[in-house]
Amino acid sequence: MQLQNLGRISYQDALERQLDILAQVQAGTEDTLLLLEHDPVLTLGASFHPENLIHPQDWYEAQGIHVLPTDRGGDITYHGPGQLVAYPIFNVAKHGQDLHRWMRDLEQTVIQALQEFDLTGERLDVNSGVWINDKKVCAIGIKIKRWVSMHGIAINCNPDLTPFSTIVPCGIRSHGVTSISQERGRIVTIEDFTPALLRGFESVFNHA
């Protein structure tokens, strides 16, 4: 597995990088994991419902939050500083060639990483992702193209959670959103959590 840490990057720039690597993996190069942090952005997935955007789009733009449609699965979510985003551009055909299993494996990488911080991550039937005490700490939205996956997972390490209150995250009104820092009662940064997440990927996907 190749690892590329892109640091803080706009959503559009990261998407262009994903598409370049996607073509390479489809052509036979090894799996690549992108780690990054996005500038503030709301992404609208393939299952987006307009009522989950509480304010007009120009309201968000005035707050410095871009609003962008995407082709990933899911509804609406927020990305911003303090949130670790991982885009595994992997050949899913080599990891079971099963979309359901792929989603569960991505969840498992986060669940295992959270254990290193004495946190119990769970799955809920209401939606994909990872939850702590019925609040979402990690969102998942993917797209499979010729059995290569793009997009991925977003883990709330220590972001400002306020923007989540201006949308209906993932289209779910019945459950809230949390962060690792909030659950631990101390600051847990992206830099703190990244090594644990990498160990999760190595364990679940046998990548070193």
Active-site residues, by number, are 170
Q: What angle do CA 77, 82, 86 make, to 5 degrees?
A: 65
For residues 108 and 184, what is the distance between their CA atoms, to the nearest angstrom? 20
Residue 192 φ/ψ region, left for φ over 0, alpha for ψ in the -120 to 50 degree band, beta for the rest = alpha
For residues 180 and 189, what is the distance between their CA atoms, to the nearest angstrom? 9
Nearest to 128 by CA among 88, 96, 101, 90: 101
> Contact, 175 vs 124, CB < 8 A?
yes
Other CB atoms within a 10 A radius of the CB of residue 191 amount to 9
Stated length of the chain: 208
> Contact, 153 vs 86, CB < 8 A?
yes
